[in-house]
Amino acid sequence: MPKFFVTSQNIDNNEIKITGEDVNHIKNVLRKKKGNQITVCNKDMSIDYLCTISQLNEDVIKCDIIEKLKTNAEPNIEVSILQGLPKADKMELVIQKSIELGAYDIIPVEMARCIVKLNEKDKIKKIQRWQKIAEVASKQSGRNKIPQIKPIISLKSICNLCTEYDIVIVAYENEKENKLKYELQKLKQSEKSNLKIAILIGPEGRNR
């Protein structure tokens, strides 16, 4: 069933209002009609509602809440993906698949071997586009939240973030002994719940 996100201010008692680009998607792409059912998630509270469409107007769709759904689509481990900027549109695929797999958030990182170089204006545009991709991926995979695409940071800035995580895993191509499965086994033995994990992945790199 199609799923859409709203904020708490779009919910009034038993009615939900859907605005923005989703209006066109519901009306003209999915061709939903009055009386059809959709799932709406309050992204502020991570709560899903089963709803019936009551009105389809030009710029707003009104829905009546049928019931609050018992869903548990979010993992209890927060995994942040710190991704070195790849070339072309590869970042879009990274974001899509990471969110479908349950990533908590994604932090783009500028590294010395990044082929892509962005100015401040381009960075803003990229983040906006990536956030839209994150929203679409969240809808398609039934997430209860839209993970944030954080502002692009430098590699040096990562040092300041390390203290926020229980473990930081660095993907290193020349590692011969330690493997990801070994680190995951260690985490399984941890008594702590709600772990925060950062996974740092470099870009494609280039010849020296």
**What does the pLDDT read at residue 204?**
82
- Give the per-residue pLDDT at 208: 45
**Helix/strand/coil for 112:** coil
| Cβ pair 199, 81 in contact under 8 A | yes
3-state secondary structure of 54: strand
pTM: 0.83
What are 141-144's contacts with CB under 8 Å, separation 24+?
A: 141/73, 141/99, 141/100, 142/3, 142/71, 142/73, 143/73, 143/74, 143/99, 143/102, 144/41, 144/46, 144/47, 144/48, 144/71, 144/72, 144/73, 144/74
d(CA 5, CA 39): 9
C-beta separation of 118 from 85 below 8 A = yes
Which pLDDT value is given to residue 206?
A: 59
| pLDDT > 90? residue 127 | yes
Q: Where are the beta strands (DSSP E) in 70-181?
A: 78-84, 105-110, 148-149, 153-154, 167-170
Q: How confident is the model at residue 160 (pLDDT cuts 50, 70, 90)?
A: confident
pLDDT of residue 205: 65
